[in-house]
Structure 1
Amino acid sequence: SLYRNVGRLVAQAVLEGRILDVDLSPPLLTAIAGSRLAADDLRHVDQTLAKSLNKLRRVAVAYTHYRALCGGELDRQDGKGMDVEAAQDTTTKEMKAFAVDGCKVEDLCLYFIAPGMDVELIEGGADQQVRLDNVDDYVRRAYKFVLHDAVAPQTQALREGFNQICSTGALAVLTDAERQRLTGGDSGKIAWDFSVKTLVRHVRCAQGYTSSSQAVRFLFEILSEMDVETQRAFVRFLTGCPRLPAGQLASLRPPITVVRVPWSPTNPNALPLASTCTNYLKLPDYPAKELMRERIYYCIRECPHGFQLS
């Protein structure tokens, strides 16, 4: 299935240390790892639904706490104890705790049906209204359905595909942030370390260039002056992916290699070329830094429009 193929793709990327140009949500990676999702994971999937269920969850917690303080006898039981209406007819502070945006739970016209779907959460759920005394059960069932039951076949297929290439145990020992960085690299909006010192350490020079070559110094200075978006555009031009591994340049495999291409006054507008499979930058030996900057920026602007196979 397609889901098994996605699982294989993610595993192959992890195994080879390659970066996927896609943001895999923390809950998806948690599910592939075989760990159980928590209610708070829903915010990564559906923020609107997460906010709505969280409001109901707060009401359920408040009511459960209130029941405990009152001896747990708030349900109707042969006229003994306090019934649901009486529980709501209490102090203003408690009434607010039992309300959702100022409305009683009963006034929300909710039934035991999966949010946004015609699937009953319990037998006869379409006729079972959500009330203050059963809102806790509804919230638990809704979370379970959305995060587990509704996607169980797809999650299982993803895990099976992943396991065919790499054990899911490789992900289980990591945190959510570590899993995301492992599969999607450093895709945030924080500038990468493109300082001249770092570039000298991690960029190779070959075929006529050394780290002390004038053109290489120009290149490193230009890269160190780039803003976040331009950094990513350059990396896309050079590697085919606008992301770097979690360790940035130090973890890029193969490392960036800059090779010399002769520059001639008869062809002053010669452009840099990139071999994305090997992270090779074929850089003309420009005589001026600004000319090099202009040519590099032209390339990275045009890069998204396609690649030439040669």
Structure 2
Amino acid sequence: LALLRLLEALCRVGNRLRPAVDVSSAPAAVATAAGGGAGSSCTGAQPSSTTWLSRDELINQKLGSKLGQQLKDVLSICGGSMPRWVPLLVTHCKFLFPFEMRRRYFYSTAFGLGRALHHMQQLNAAETGGAATLGSSDSRELRVGRLQRQKVRVSRRRILESAEKVMELYARQRTVLELEYFGEVGTGLGPTLEFFTLLSHDLQKRSLRMWRHEDNATLADAADNVGAGGDEMQVDGGAAAAATGTAALSGPATAGQRPGGGGDWHEPNEYVNAPWGLFPRPLPPSERGGRVVSYFRLLGRSVAKAMQDSRLMDLPLSGAFYRAALGHSLDLLDIATFDPQLAGSLAKLRAAAAEAAAPAAAAASGPSARRGVLYDGVPLSDLCLVFTLPGDSAYELVPGGAGVDVCDANLTQYIDAVLDATLGSGVAAQLAAFRAGFDEVFPLASLECFYEDELETLLCGSGERWTVQVLADSIKFDHGYTASSPVVKCFLELLSELDTLEQRRFLRFVTGCPRLPTGGIAALLPRLTVVRKHPTSDTASTGGTPVGSFKVDSGVGTTAADADLPSVMTCANYIKLPPYSGKEVMKQRLMYALNEGQGSFDLS
């Protein structure tokens, strides 16, 4: 096991061991190494590339099966008598088990007995095709894992302030939070999911000054190209390389980006632009006890409560943030994962300093051969660097740093000071507040059984490319519709043609959350259901839409349903779809509902 741990660590962080590191491609390289992607390779001083083992190649199926059987032992879970090998291997040798098995262990051990039993009953219901009925001999078992729920009413216009009060009062409690909004009739799962979505967006506002913000045009274009690939945040090596080709250090932030792909309801420049993921903005000593730190405590409570209640957040935190929150040390390559431009500049400065010092070391017997530091052929003095944090001239790295020029003699001190401000003392207060808030709900150490990319999936769900077949297999059709209904076929075609932004709007319209849980649309609970909505015009009373009147072509029909809009029950993932006369009419009405049907839960 010790040798396997060493091998896994070598494959995971192998890029950090290369003699020469090109940080311009570090976001893709580090993400691949951390994710254990198959076929990832790196080239250093050796002429041939090194291929690392993928994470899946280290999984032991027999141990995974044994862990699965152990997690079905109700007595050992209830009595806290799980064998000692289970927590040791799952935490310290997590590469031996697939993600799904570790996720089951997490839900069975992290939240107490009641939630463990509830989770086991959900798994049993999924495996057997449904839960036991109340009249069966298992009806008493159904009540064992029933969770208490705490209903709270909040103001939609003051989500952040409401969240602070709610988490202060109820984060430590074992109850499941259910949110409602003043002046609205909606209750249950849908409003609760939307609350966590709205809170996620509010926590990304630039006015809070919580996160690093990037307004460089090159990086913004690269982020757009990355975001076009899907709902999950991925890092493109080519884009990163192009972004870090410039010699300039990170500049001040001015441009905003809508969270997670955003929507048209957001104002320009309102939200942080973080194409590589969110990471805390360094705080100078004078601000480390202020409002920003309290927001990170709220973030910790909210993230933990979302995980505890199996809610999703629309919060693209960077992998470096997860590592730092878990107490892992960070270095220059971690900066490259959330600010490749700054990392590239620091790496060039460090390399230039080493190159300038090399001749002096080689000529120790003669006169000093040391030459000045050159940055891309430019003398260091011409860069006009001072001891302030790149991108934030108000953050002085040393007392009076705005008046201290960076020269050959203090260049190493400057680089170390920037690294400390970016990864150390400048973000220590925020990370400590996040950990403190998180630990109020359940121990943060429980997340040690996951990798950083898996934590992203656990908190934010996963993206999915929809095809007609995938949708047909995942959606239930009832009350007037079957999978072979012409209306249903065109509806599935429309969904498969949605782009990323439209897909997010559809999910938020139907479920209250713009993201999918692990497992995609098939994993939605309750299962997504589409039923026939009777036309509201007078002709509906005479039989509604005539059989066979649906037109597959794009022509606009004249049936009674064409004036109606689709409606949903977010608490049950339930879509009421009128039998439109044609596909084009259906698209127009659906898009109108997605764009205008946000912001309130009312009766339909």
Query: Which TM class, normalised by the smaller chain length?
Result: 0.7 to 0.9
Q: Is the 8 A contact 1:245 1:252 kept in 2?
A: yes
Query: Aligned with 1:2: secondary structure?
Result: helix
One of 87, 112, 133 as aligned partner of 2:370? 87
The match for 1:277 is 571
CA displacement at 1:123 relative to structure 2? 6.9
The match for 1:29 is 322
Once structures 1 and 2 are overlaid, which stretch shifts more, 148-157 or 236-245?
A: 236-245
CA displacement at 1:112 relative to structure 2? 4.3
Amino acid aligned to 2:329: R
- Is it true that 1:182 corresponds to 2:454 in the alignment? no
CA displacement at 1:63 relative to structure 2? 3.9
One of 101, 120, 137 as aligned partner of 2:376? 101
The match for 2:243 is none
Question: Which one has the largest radius of gyration?
Answer: 1
Identify unmatched segments of 5+ residues in structure 1.
74-79, 89-94
- Is it true that 1:160 corresponds to 2:436 in the alignment? yes
The match for 2:519 is 247
One of 282, 287, 293 as aligned partner of 2:587? 293
Q: Is the 8 A contact 1:34 1:168 kept in 2?
A: no
Query: Aligned with 2:406: secondary structure?
Result: coil
Q: Is the 8 A contact 2:561 2:579 kept in 1?
A: no
Root-mean-square deviation (CA), in Å? Answer: 3.1
TM-score, normalised relative to structure 1: 0.77
CA displacement at 1:35 relative to structure 2? 1.9
Per-residue CA shift, 1:72-117, capped at 9, x if unaligned?
A: x5xxxxxx7554xx311xxxxxx7xx41133222444444444435
Q: Is the 8 A contact 1:31 1:155 kept in 2?
A: yes
CA distance in 2, matches of 1:222, 1:121: 55
Identity across matched positions, percent: 37
Query: Aligned with 1:268: secondary structure?
Result: helix
The match for 2:350 is 57
CA distance in 2, matches of 1:217, 1:3: 46
CA distance in 2, matches of 1:251, 1:62: 55
Q: Is the 8 A contact 1:34 1:172 kept in 2?
A: no
The match for 2:10 is none
Greater relative contact order: 1 or 2 (C-alpha under 8 angstroms, separation 6 or more)?
1
CA distance in 2, matches of 1:151, 1:6: 14
Q: Is the 8 A contact 2:297 2:438 kept in 1?
A: yes
CA distance in 1, matches of 2:394, 2:423: 16
CA displacement at 1:256 relative to structure 2? 1.6
Amino acid aligned to 1:195: T
CA distance in 2, matches of 1:13, 1:66: 56
Per-residue CA shift, 1:122-156, capped at 9, x if unaligned?
A: 57867765333442332122111222201211110
CA distance in 2, matches of 1:198, 1:180: 24
CA separation of 1:223 and 1:118: change in aligned 2, threshold 3 A: closer
Q: Is the 8 A contact 1:31 1:37 kept in 2?
A: yes
CA separation of 1:260 and 1:49: change in aligned 2, threshold 3 A: same
Query: Aligned with 2:516: secondary structure?
Result: coil
CA separation of 1:65 and 1:179: change in aligned 2, threshold 3 A: farther
Q: Is the 8 A contact 1:286 1:292 kept in 2?
A: yes
Query: Aligned with 2:568: secondary structure?
Result: strand
Amino acid aligned to 2:489: R
One of 411, 424, 427 as aligned partner of 1:135? 411
TM-score, normalised relative to structure 2: 0.42
The match for 1:199 is 471
CA displacement at 1:54 relative to structure 2? 2.9
Identify unmatched segments of 5+ residues in structure 2.
1-293, 541-558
The match for 2:596 is 302
